[in-house]
Structure 1
Amino acid sequence: MNIAVIYAGGMGSRLHNYSRPKQFIEFRSKPIVIYTIEIFQRISAVDGIVVVCLEDWIPYLRHEVEKYNLDKVLHIVPGGRKGQDSIYNGLVCVKDHYPDDTMVLIHDGVRPLAMDKTILECIEVANEKGNCVVVVPAMETIVVEGENGDWSVPNRSNCYVARAPQCFRLGDVMAAHRKALKEEKHDFIDTCTMMKYYGYKFNTILGTAENIKITTPADCFMFRAIIEAREEGVVFGL
């Protein structure tokens, strides 16, 4: 069983010029989060979807889900104070309905350009090896600040950027979240960071560069350009 947990519970402060949370910004009258949900809706290997949403926006999202006939959306649950808390809320919902060996595909609601092929490969590796995280090679030099103020420059050929989906067995990722709650740790930047902290090893696959997370106004422009380029590619056979 493969269940997508799409978290869209943030306010998007870096898109402060917009009048609504970033996941509900519209392109061609369709919210970004709907573009994201549609990816998992059309992939047959995904058995269901749980969406974590800002509580005040749940009625609006329910309306949009019905409007676009996204019948794989099983539940919409309220988000938490931080992204980590929102993901946990989604996982609790999955736990209430599915066994511990369920594979959960944790994905940002504002990452609407993931390729079907990438998600299918992620599911295949996760079910074979127990987990899988999508990564892309670092395209620029990484510099790391040390505790004493010195800077180090790791070999870029060994550096990757973690993206999504990040797939883990439900029992494993719930165990890590419960440890974090017990220790009052709420600042893990993403799930693979948490899993690594608690001793889990994870497997990776290479994703595509366009699988961006929409965080800034520039990302919105890139999203629109990529959508239009994909459509032109289909029309003109590019």
Structure 2
Amino acid sequence: MSAKISPNAPLHPLLAQYLVQLSTNPLRTKAITSATFSFLQEVIGSHAAGLPPSPTPKDASVLTKALARAHINAKAFKMALYGFSVSAPLGHVLVGLLQKAFAGKVGLKYRLAQLLASNLLIAPIQTTAFLASMAMINGAKSVEDVVRTVRAGFFTVIRVNWVVSPLSMVVAQQFIPVELWVPFFNIIQFALGTIFNIKVKRLRLAAAKREEEQKERERAESAAANLNDV
């Protein structure tokens, strides 16, 4: 999707420059944007979920310790790589095909058809790619692990997308200038992805806490049993 800048719309110089880059170098600009947002989603999600910093050796450098406290770690860079090499190119190609299919077609029925095609064809592909990538980033070691992750999360993610996508499209059509649609949808996706990230991390943190508490109880019961035997 390329953006055409309206000469009548006063824009912030940085935003105007971004739109110029989006128009002249759409894939590169989208890839850099997606990489940046994916990186920030991971870092912000870790902070907001209350995850403890990654452990560092006692003799680690000050920079290493600072990066650990800031949750700037290997996973954050893997997320950036996902945004740059998977999310942005895939979205660029799929949305481009959708736009070509409906180019020159106007009217309510074509808008609805485009929305349905986006939600029933494009969204499932992007959701599958997202979940498969997350499985690999989180350490999936086999195809079965990836498939299991996709099956477990597919309908949860796609249902949210089916709600958010039409609503954001209506808002864009009614209130957002066309030249700002790409940044607008980027922000929507960033916010949604960050919320998902925080939710998943909190669930994992709670599960790890419950597991640790269970182990503590088992150790206490084992110690009590040993004392009784004595």
Under TM normalisation by the shorter chain, which class is it?
A: under 0.3
Q: Given the two structures, how large is their TM-score scaled by the length of structure 1?
A: 0.24
Q: Given the two structures, how large is their TM-score scaled by the length of structure 2?
A: 0.25
Select the structure with the greater relative contact order (CA < 8 A; seq sep ≥ 6). Answer: 2
Larger Rg: 2
Larger fraction in strand? 1
